[in-house]
Structure 1
Amino acid sequence: MDCCGLDRRRFLGGVVGLAAGGLAFGKKRRIRLAFCSQTLCILPYVMAEKRGMFADQGLSVELIYTRGGGAALQALVGGAVDYAATSLDAQLQAFKNGAPIQRFAASGRLPLFALAVAPKARDRIRSLADLAGQTVGISALGNADHALLLYLLARAGVDATRIRFATLGPNLFEALRVGHVDAGMVQEPALSLLLERGGGVLVNFMDLEETRRYLGGSYAFMGVAVRGDEADDRLDEMRRLAGALQAALEFIHTASGKLIVATLPSELIAGGDRKQLEAIVERYRQSIYPRSTRLDLEAAARVVEAQQLAGLLPENLPWRELFLPKVLEGAAG
């Protein structure tokens, strides 16, 4: 689980051509943008297309839905797309491995995880300290959810060596529901479904105030990367892209959950509960999405610290070189 990519499998790997709209800047520039396909990750990008915000910036954008952030970044490095929107976790790993990419805009400020408790374990696990001696589910050792969990435990002073980690892949819901694990890192809608069945939640990282309380501030997540050697030539285009995304973020902050979900392509809702998705969007939109696309290096430093704690990044990695804040210097918002 390098970034997102949970559920909606019918839509993964598909290509949706997006564009149309006015010619605010004359002939629209055609660009291709790949990103992982978890619904909460993609909202700013889909809103920017469906509400005409890309077109208002003179851009014709083709969104490429991929199976996770790693695939999106591979497409970027390989030259198949112009930009890739993924979690910072995925971009840091690519950067560590020599990928010539730079992150220039943000679209999400919280990880899309919560530390949930199984219904059968709710009476005995009421705090992080109660996890000692218990079995906690994660997608895989070294994945984003594992690194975040280790960071949380370290900040809370809980000895992670006293916890048994079970690697269960991206879908932990059933294992938690039936009690095969005592707690686990889940996303939505798994969290809502577990709570409906009597489960609990120790920390919800999709809530900004909880994340600030447990981690000390926001934790950089979704953002857009470009090939570093093209950044100077694409500077104007990158600013337009960021401007469209910022307009989409403002729309997400002010529109109702019902209107936001109604804007989504039907393929993203097929097989899902529309009312539940509306409630999820309504609950989290103010927390998950920033009002500005400008980079937050303080929030990024928390992700770096978490990955270093998990042994995923070396201490001497010049990680700040991944970021390109000059693109949005002086931008409003």
Structure 2
Amino acid sequence: MQRRDILAAALAAAAWPGWARAQAPEKPKVTIAVGGKNLFYYLPLTIAEQLGYFKAEGLDVTIVDFAGGSRALQAVVGGSADVVSGAFEHTINMQAKGQPMRAFVLQGLAPQIVLGVNPKTLPNFRSVADLKGRKIGVTAPGSSTHIMLNFVLAKAGLKPSDVSVIGVGASNGAVAAMRAGQIDAISNLDPVITLLQRSGDLRVVVDTRKPAEAERVFGGPMPAGCLYAPESFVAQHPHTVQALTNAMVRANKWIQHAGAGDIIKTVPESYLLGDRAVYIDGFLAAKPALSPDGLIPPKGPETALRALASVDDKLARAQLDLAATYTNTFAQRANARYPKG
């Protein structure tokens, strides 16, 4: 069978009522690569792990954390991980490179990425055009924080080469770089952003933690964090993918009903960056941008491609099959099984 035929058969099998709970995972031991596990962007992944949702689905999941999403993707491409917990737009980039990836459950309705400037080094900042020639921190070069930065720069008439991009990670290193004046601006996520805001070390310029603002910035729904894997993995391990999806959808739904106290009790202490109040503020800011059901919006891939194509001429000219970058079949099955989480 051709690769597409195998995938079609797997997705058709997933549509059978009761399938999601009737079949054991083909690959019970799964390694998930993530870039910045402590970020709210990936909170459903941590919740699924901490509350035992993966184990409940018959999975033994190992989560390996990297400095950014691009490095997490490299782990899967290199064969040291099976699945990426990362930004949806990587599925588009990889299809263009002839290495098809498919997203199968959503974590974020909006990117949750914030672009802000350093009030110490840019006290007279007026517009994005003022970033020309400046040093800007991202989680890791090539990651979603870098992609959004390039998109915002392009809208202001700047090229990616007009700024110096520095990988600062997604934790205390990013905070330290801003406070020390080593970077003039930052494209990052919570809790890093809220921590910098509370200490007066950040002036927000673009805030896609707000779904409405994200839609204005990108011109449509912009799917964010998700689980994605090589198309071959999805085709060959449909029961494993369904089990992963079940766990993630349960986590999504739990978060929607959780209070700040519930989150604090569940995540590792290291996530709090030494300040519980900041973490709570970050969670409340990020919560509206988290997916309630794991379903990828049908127009989301189009929005993501527009954003990528605005800074990549090759993608703008590429003939891509956006329908092949994602499937909602597994998430629909998971919602049917866990209507209340």
The TM-score, its normalising length taken from structure 1, stands at: 0.76
- Please say if residues 133 and 163 of structure 1, whose CA atoms lie closer than 8 Å, have aligned partners that are also in contact: no
| Amino acid in the other structure paired with 2:192 | A
The answer to whether residue 274 in structure 2 is matched with residue 272 in structure 1 is yes
Supply the distance in 1 between the matched residues of 2:119 and 2:78 (Cα, whole angstroms). 45
Supply the distance in 2 between the matched residues of 1:230 and 1:178 (Cα, whole angstroms). 44
Aligned residue for 1:222?
A: 225
- Please say if residues 113 and 145 of structure 1, whose CA atoms lie closer than 8 Å, have aligned partners that are also in contact: yes
Aligned residue for 1:38?
A: 37
- Please say if residues 33 and 64 of structure 1, whose CA atoms lie closer than 8 Å, have aligned partners that are also in contact: yes
Cα drift, residue 311 of structure 1:
1.8
Supply the distance in 1 between the matched residues of 2:25 and 2:162 (Cα, whole angstroms). 54
Aligned residue for 2:92?
A: 92
Cα drift, residue 191 of structure 1:
2.3
Cα drift, residue 251 of structure 1:
1.0
- Please say if residues 87 and 223 of structure 1, whose CA atoms lie closer than 8 Å, have aligned partners that are also in contact: yes
Cα drift, residue 213 of structure 1:
2.9
| Amino acid in the other structure paired with 2:60 | V
Supply the distance in 1 between the matched residues of 2:203 and 2:221 (Cα, whole angstroms). 23
More helix by percentage: 2
The C-alpha deviation readout for 1:5-29, integer Å capped at 9, x for no partner, is xxxxxxxxxxxxxxxxxxx869777
- Please say if residues 48 and 54 of structure 1, whose CA atoms lie closer than 8 Å, have aligned partners that are also in contact: yes
- Please say if residues 135 and 165 of structure 1, whose CA atoms lie closer than 8 Å, have aligned partners that are also in contact: yes
Give the fraction of aligned pairs with identical amino acids, expressed as a percent: 21
Aligned residue for 2:188?
A: 186
Aligned residue for 2:116?
A: 116
Cα drift, residue 163 of structure 1:
9.3
Aligned residue for 1:293?
A: 294
> What secondary structure sits across from 1:49 in the alignment?
helix
> What secondary structure sits across from 1:120 in the alignment?
coil
- Please say if residues 132 and 163 of structure 1, whose CA atoms lie closer than 8 Å, have aligned partners that are also in contact: no
- Please say if residues 96 and 318 of structure 2, whose CA atoms lie closer than 8 Å, have aligned partners that are also in contact: no
Higher relative contact order (CA 8 A, sep 6+): 2
Cα drift, residue 152 of structure 1:
2.8
Supply the distance in 1 between the matched residues of 2:176 and 2:321 (Cα, whole angstroms). 37
- Please say if residues 37 and 43 of structure 2, whose CA atoms lie closer than 8 Å, have aligned partners that are also in contact: no
Supply the distance in 1 between the matched residues of 2:206 and 2:179 (Cα, whole angstroms). 18
- Please say if residues 25 and 239 of structure 2, whose CA atoms lie closer than 8 Å, have aligned partners that are also in contact: no
Aligned residue for 2:58?
A: 59
Change (3 A) 1:186 1:325: closer
Change (3 A) 1:324 1:26: closer
Supply the distance in 2 between the matched residues of 1:162 and 1:49 (Cα, whole angstroms). 37
Aligned residue for 2:167?
A: 169
Supply the distance in 2 between the matched residues of 1:27 and 1:132 (Cα, whole angstroms). 52
> What secondary structure sits across from 1:324 in the alignment?
coil
RMSD: 3.4
Aligned residue for 2:106?
A: 106
Supply the distance in 2 between the matched residues of 1:146 and 1:28 (Cα, whole angstroms). 35
Cα drift, residue 161 of structure 1:
5.1
Cα drift, residue 219 of structure 1:
2.0
Supply the distance in 1 between the matched residues of 2:195 and 2:271 (Cα, whole angstroms). 18
Cα drift, residue 249 of structure 1:
0.7
The answer to whether residue 325 in structure 2 is matched with residue 322 in structure 1 is yes
Change (3 A) 1:26 1:166: closer
- Please say if residues 77 and 100 of structure 1, whose CA atoms lie closer than 8 Å, have aligned partners that are also in contact: no
- Please say if residues 137 and 185 of structure 2, whose CA atoms lie closer than 8 Å, have aligned partners that are also in contact: no
Cα drift, residue 248 of structure 1:
0.6
> What secondary structure sits across from 1:59 in the alignment?
coil
| Amino acid in the other structure paired with 1:66 | D
Cα drift, residue 201 of structure 1:
0.8
Greater mean alpha carbon deviation, residues 42-51 or residues 118-127: 118-127
Cα drift, residue 116 of structure 1:
0.8
Supply the distance in 2 between the matched residues of 1:163 and 1:73 (Cα, whole angstroms). 24
- Please say if residues 33 and 85 of structure 1, whose CA atoms lie closer than 8 Å, have aligned partners that are also in contact: no
Aligned residue for 2:304?
A: 303
The TM-score, its normalising length taken from structure 2, stands at: 0.74
Cα drift, residue 119 of structure 1:
1.6
Aligned residue for 1:152?
A: 152
Stretches of structure 2 lacking an aligned partner (at least 5 in a row): 1-20
Supply the distance in 2 between the matched residues of 1:222 and 1:153 (Cα, whole angstroms). 22
Supply the distance in 2 between the matched residues of 1:26 and 1:232 (Cα, whole angstroms). 15
- Please say if residues 119 and 198 of structure 1, whose CA atoms lie closer than 8 Å, have aligned partners that are also in contact: yes
Supply the distance in 2 between the matched residues of 1:303 and 1:133 (Cα, whole angstroms). 25
Equivalent residues, number = 304
